[in-house]
Structures are given as structure tokens and as C-alpha cells.
Amino acid sequence: MSSMWKKTAGAALLLTLLSGCHRQIVTQTTVSTSGPIRVVFIPKNSGNPYFDAVNTGFKKASGQLGFKYTQLAPATAEATNQIPIIQQQIQNGVNAIAISPNSTDALAPVLKQAMQKGVTVITVDADMTGSESSRNACVLPTDFSQVGSSQIELMGSLMGYQGKFAILSATTDAPNQNFWIAGMKQALKNPKYSKMTLVGIVYGNDDPQKSLLEAQSLLTRYPDLKGILAPTSVGLAAAAQAVESARDAGRVQVTGLGTPNQMRRYVTDGTVKEFALWDPSAMGDLAGTLAYLMAKKSVQPAPGVHFQVPSGGSYQFGPNNVLSTGPLLTFSKSNIGSYHF
């Protein structure tokens, strides 16, 4: 047996054990204690304009506070695709990982490993629902308990509270969409919505092409469909595109969560009357700030604890160490011109 120790700049110790023909690599990493605090943000996937807006917020916090910031995204939003990035960052001795998780089950073990190595782990935009002990704190863009019911009210008001509608979601594992869909199903029990029928939930995986195909197949499968509700910015733009090209605007109402920049065209041409979102960059700014303050040990999250952000304002952790920004905004022809993200 032979062994080799290698020291990296981030104080990572790599122990390679060679035994017979089995080569086992054991890594012992501690977070960097010298130099600027390093924060990485791992969005669900690359090429999604929503996360570009979140990234803008992180960059703002990094510019103001002086931490070193990197964004690293997997190509697609599959449940396991963020794991190698997290492992690499642990090995590099990053101080804080902020992540929009694609899955609770797939990511809980590796995020726990990161925490055990002293890395600050915060979830952003979506939480590790049911596995909150696998991250230190969470920054959500709005009060999640209101999202499902407000999306159903939006869909209902557009389709006259009656007829068939379908949900076009992101991935089957997405913790945020699944949380909102549970809220939608709960809201549908209200007698106000008794004439609305949810005919199905389809998944476009936050991939523009797959989302478009799913939206198109809903239109053919249900000729009497009155609405598509897409609680994902990728799905909403794809549903609007499908309805616009099928010249189904007016017959099929499209709404959900989306960015004003992606939806401007469809709101202007009347395909989409109303949709909702929050300010993603405000969430990124707070998440970057919190990651930095926690990595510096200036903030220790616990329910009820208040903290001041250096740029002004104060926040209080809720149950499970959750913070939220907000508010939930509704966009239409009358106000979309004022929003540029």
C-alpha cells in the first residue's frame, strides 16, 4: 500500500490509497479560511433566463460585500445533475453553496456531506422540502403557501371558473413546483372552483423544446381545453408559444409564473392576459448576502432570529430557517412595461 498527500490552495487534503488492484480515493476537505469568502450558486439548469435574473442579484451582493462569486449550472434540470458540481465544490473548499435544488431525495446526502465539511449550504428559489436538515437556511422568492392558491385563482378568473385545464410543470422531482401543485390541488377543493376540472399534469423538464411539445400535445389531446397553467417560466413561455401558433388565443387561456421579458411578446399580442412572478434578482441578492454572512459566521440562522443586511433592511428567519423576499406580482398589458427582467 502507498499513500500520497496533496495540499491544495483551499486547504483540501487528498489522500490516495492504493491497495492491490483497488484504488480508493478519500478526500478530506475543509473550507478555505484564508482569502476572500467564496460563494457558488448552482441553479437548476443553464440557459434559463429566470436564473440569469437570480444571478444578477448574486453579482450585486458580491460587488457590494466583496465575496468571490461563481455560478455553475448543469446543462439540464435532471434530479442528479447537480451532484458532481456540489462534490467538486466541496473538494475545492468553497465557503458557501447556494443551490436551487432539482430534487430533495437525490441531493440530500451530498448536501449533508457539504455541511459536515463545514460548507454553508443554503437553498434558493426552491427548498429541500421534507429534508430541511440537509441545508442550513433557505431563501424563497415569496411566501410559498400562497402560490398554489393564487395561481388557481388566476387561472379560474381567466377561464370563467369553469371548464378543463391542465398543468404544465417543470420536472417531476422539482421541489418548488411540486409544493405549488400541492397548494393548487388543495385550493381546487374550494367550492368556488368546483366547475374547473384539472385534466392532467405534464412535465416539460424546464426544457423549451420538451415543454413546447407537451403544450402542443395538450391542445390536440383536449380539443375543449380552456386553460394551461404553467408554474414555471420555461413552461409558461412554451405554452404561450404553442397557443399563439395554433391560433388558439382566446379559446385556451395561458397563465402561470414567468419573466416579463419572456412573456412581453405574448402579453402584447393578447395570447396571455395575466401571469405572475416575483423579482428573482431581489432573491439572488438576499441569498448571496446571507451566504456570505453565514460563511463569515456573522449570522447564525434560527427561527425568530433577526439580522440586518449591510445594504439596509432587516430580515427574520421563519420556521425551518426560511427567509422570503417577495411580493408576488401580477403582470398584464397595463404594467408589464415597467418590468425589465
Q: Which residues contact 29 (CB under 8 A, 6 or more apart)?
A: 10, 11, 12, 13, 90, 91, 92, 93, 117
CB under 6 A: which stretch of 216-224, 226-234, 286-294, 311-319 binds ligand RAM? 226-234
324 burial type by CB count under 10 A (0-12 exposed, 13-18 middle, 19+ buried): middle
Rounded CA gap, 104 and 109, in Å? Answer: 9
CB under 6 A: which stretch of 217-225, 227-235, 293-301, 322-330 binds ligand RAM? 227-235
Binding ligand RAM by CB under 6 A: which of 71, 81, 95, 100?
Answer: 100
Binding ligand RAM by CB under 6 A: which of 95, 123, 233, 255?
Answer: 233
Binding ligand RAM by CB under 6 A: which of 38, 44, 60, 135?
Answer: 44
CB under 6 A: which stretch of 11-19, 43-51, 307-315, 321-329 binds ligand RAM? 43-51
Binding ligand RAM by CB under 6 A: which of 125, 173, 274, 279?
Answer: 125
Rounded CA gap, 107 and 167, in Å? Answer: 25
Rounded to a whole number of angstroms, the minimum distance from the CB of residue 75 to ligand RAM is 15
126 sits near ligand RAM (criterion: CB under 6 A): yes
Interface with ligand RAM (CB under 6 A), residue total 13
Which set of grid coordinates corresponds to residue 178? 411540486
Rounded to a whole number of angstroms, the minimum distance from the CB of residue 8 to ligand RAM is 33
Site for ligand RAM in 274-303 (CB under 6 A): none
Nearest to 193 by CA among 134, 152, 140, 248: 152
* Sheet (strand 22-29) strand order: 2-7, 12-19, 22-29
50 sits near ligand RAM (criterion: CB under 6 A): yes
Is residue 192 a contact partner of residue 156, using CB atoms and an 8 Å limit? Answer: yes
Binding mask 168-207 for ligand RAM (x = CB under 6 A): --x-----x-----------------------------x-
Pick 67 or 275: Cβ nearer ligand RAM: 275
Rounded to a whole number of angstroms, the minimum distance from the CB of residue 134 to ligand RAM is 18
Is residue 292 a contact partner of residue 66, using CB atoms and an 8 Å limit? Answer: no
Run of H or E including 260: helix 260-268
CB under 6 A: which stretch of 9-17, 29-37, 44-52, 301-309 binds ligand RAM? 44-52
210 sits near ligand RAM (criterion: CB under 6 A): no
Nearest to 216 by CA among 249, 236, 241, 253: 241
Q: CB-side exposure of 114: number of CA atoms within 13 Å?
A: 32
How crowded is residue 63: how many other Cβ atoms within 10 Å of its Cβ? 11
Binding ligand RAM by CB under 6 A: which of 29, 48, 136, 205?
Answer: 48
Q: Phi and psi (nearest 5°) for 221? A: -65, -35
β-bridge mates for residue 71, sequence order: 41
Pick 44 or 226: Cβ nearer ligand RAM: 44
Q: In the complex, which residues of this chain contact ligand RAM (CB under 6 A)?
A: 44, 48, 50, 100, 125-126, 170, 176, 206, 232-234, 257
